[in-house]
Each structure stands twice: as structure tokens, then as C-alpha cells.
Amino acid sequence: MQKPDFNIEEVNKIIRGRRSMFAAQFKENDPIDDSIIEEMLENARWAPTHKLTQPWRFIVYTGEGLKKFADYQADMYKLRAEKNGTPFLEATYEKFKQQPLKASHMIAIILKRSAGIPLMEEIAAVSMAVQNMYLTASAHGLAAYWGTGGPTFWQEAREDFGLEGEDALMGFFYVAKPASDTWPEGKRDSMDEKVAWIRE
């Protein structure tokens, strides 16, 4: 294979220009073409992965699938409150029922464990796959964010997502067209405060 001819200016631009945009910034009822989501997932496939375990798994919800997921998480929230004797908040229930419907697509992020690979490396591989999706979404001018709410840490949800052993649900990636042409400003500390150089 011939060495790729990368454009470093464009690489820097997309990495430094990537932003999270949340449901309040989504343009509702204007779906993204599935082909863009497929491109995001294809780019996720090319994340680094130790011993090629490729531990990422994804479930894509769109259309009526979003409503199915929204009803699922709202109903499970209610059942958990009843079972555990924890406070049931109508506002939280409604948020669970409405929030996914604001997105064009929502992608469940699953880590499928492989024996003999340190857990940290598998988490890192899935995270880098999600970063590739983030970058692709930004390159298309889309709004996206990775959230770990709802069923992410609910033990009752594990079977529903096909999790076994040390498999993990790592949250949900929401994608939509942005409601505004304004792109969020970036906020990061200087790397001078984060890096130590040892030269001798």
C-alpha cells in the first residue's frame, strides 16, 4: 500500500474543531441520511485495537426505533424506582421519554470483552472508535454528543443489550442536524500546564 498523502492542516482543523452539541441544539424532525451514519460507523471500525479484538459493538436507533428506546428507558426508570424504593420524578420520566426523539439517530455504544486483553485497552479502543464517529459527524457539520445517562449503568438493562461477563454498555451517541449555523467555541487549558518534557 502506498503511503497516504494526508493534509495536516485539514487534520488539525477537524480535530480542533470537533464539538459536542446537545439536544437543545438539535434541529428536530429533519433526519440525517443513513449513509452518513454508515460512514461514521465505518470510520469507527478503523480505530486502534490491541490484538485486533475490535471490541466495539453498536446498535443504531432511528425513526420508530427512537420511540421504542425512549419508551423502554422511561418504563425501566419507573420500574426501578418502584423496585428500589427510590423517588420517582415525573420530570425525569418525561425527559427519558422525549430526549431521544430530538435526535435523528442514536447509537448505543457497547464494549465486548475479549479474554487476555486488559480492560483499559478495550475501553480505550471503543473510546477511539467513538472519537472517529465524532470527527466524522463534525466534518459533516452535524451536532453530536456522547452521553452516559439512562440505562448505561443499570444492571437490569444488561440482558436487554446482550451483555455478558465483563461486557459493558458505555453510553449513547446522539446525532442530529444542528438548529443553528453557529458552531460552539472551544474551551481547553494550555498544554503548558499538562505536559512535562524530559530531554536528558
Q: What is the CATH number of the domain that holds 134?
A: 3.40.109.10
Looking at residue 25, its pLDDT comes to 97
Number of structural domains found in the chain: 1
Q: What is the reported pTM?
A: 0.96
1 inside domain: no
5 inside domain: no
42 inside domain: yes
Looking at residue 197, its pLDDT comes to 96
62 inside domain: yes
**Residue 128 near residue 47, CB atoms below 8 Å:** yes
Residues 33-53 pLDDT 10s: 999 999 999 999 999 999 999
The model's confidence at residue 18, banded by pLDDT at 50, 70 and 90, is very high
Looking at residue 154, its pLDDT comes to 97
Domain holding 35, by residue range, is: 20-193
175 inside domain: yes
Share of the chain above pLDDT 70, in %: 100
Alpha-carbon distance of 135 to 12, in angstroms, equals 11
Residues 97-120 pLDDT 10s: 999 999 999 999 999 999 999 999
92 inside domain: yes
Residues 134-169 pLDDT 10s: 999 999 999 999 999 999 999 999 999 999 999 999
Looking at residue 45, its pLDDT comes to 98
198 inside domain: no
Helix (H) or strand (E) holding 110: strand 105-111
143 inside domain: yes
Looking at residue 44, its pLDDT comes to 98
DSSP, collapsed to helix, strand or coil, labels residue 199 as: coil
DSSP, collapsed to helix, strand or coil, labels residue 127 as: helix
